[in-house]
A = this chain, B = another copy of it.
């Protein structure tokens, strides 16, 4: 692993453990046993590091449109993958709006990606309807289902945190129960 890459990993670990304000570039350098100057040779500031971590997050979660889930079973597998990525970069979702208020470039980047993500979720719901697995009665219900998936993917762990629940790789999967419950009234039961 290159030094540049190793710095990103060390930053990710510290951000997840504490928060992006406590973990300064000096702390990140210290945790690796390198000088602050060496870190700043690779990265201008903490904002640059956070932006690059965000780009890695996007790379890890992005699926091309061809790969979008076409069945409920595929959607479940897809959700599991996204939850793993969310967990890996959990500092980001904990601080998301605070990070936006400090870095408008990051905010613009995220919003653009998120709008595209929302369009893909809409596409998935419409695929499930075409495939006879979901019955979506009207556009309000479609909007609600899409909202449920996106809202909970971004904020369900934060929600659990506000109730004092321990968040770990296991509990991070609870969001699946939430999205399943949102879809349940609209799932078409197959005759067996």
Minimum distance in angstroms from A22 CB to a CB of chain B:
8
| Selected contact of A98 from candidates B19, B111, B154, CB within 8 Å | B19
A147 to B100, CA, bound (A): 26
Name which of A3-11, A42-50, A177-185 contacts chain B: A177-185
Distance between Cα atoms of A114 and B160 in the complex (Å): 11
- A176 at the binding interface (Cβ < 8 Å): no
> CA A154 – CA B152 in complex, angstroms?
12
| A157 closest partner in B (C-beta) | B97
Known: A94-B98, A161-B100, A164-B115. A151 touches B144 (CB 8 A): no
CB-CB under 8 A from A21, the residues of chain B are 21, 98, 102
**A155, closest chain B residue (CB):** B155
A118 at interface, CB cutoff 8 A: yes
In the bound assembly, the distance between CA atoms of A140 and B185 in angstroms comes to 12
Number of chain copies forming the complex = 2
Would A111 and B163 be within 8 Å (CB), given that A98-B98, A144-B182 are in contact? Answer: yes
Report chain B residues within 8 Å CB of A171.
none
Q: Which residues of B contact A2 (CB under 8 A)?
A: none
> Contact string, A75-99, partner B, CB cutoff 8 A, digits 1/0?
0000000000000000000111110
Contact A140 B97 (CB under 8 A): no
Residue of B nearest to A144 (CB): B181
Task: Indicate whether A159 sits within 8 Å of B150 (C-beta atoms), given known contacts A97-B95, A144-B178, A144-B181.
Answer: yes
* In-complex Cβ contact of A101 among B18, B114, B164, B186 (8 A): B18
- Asked whether B162 lies within 8 Å of A110 as measured between CB atoms, the reply is yes
Known: A115-B164, A151-B178, A154-B158. 5 other contacts (CB 8 A): A95-B95, A140-B181, A144-B181, A151-B156, A185-B186
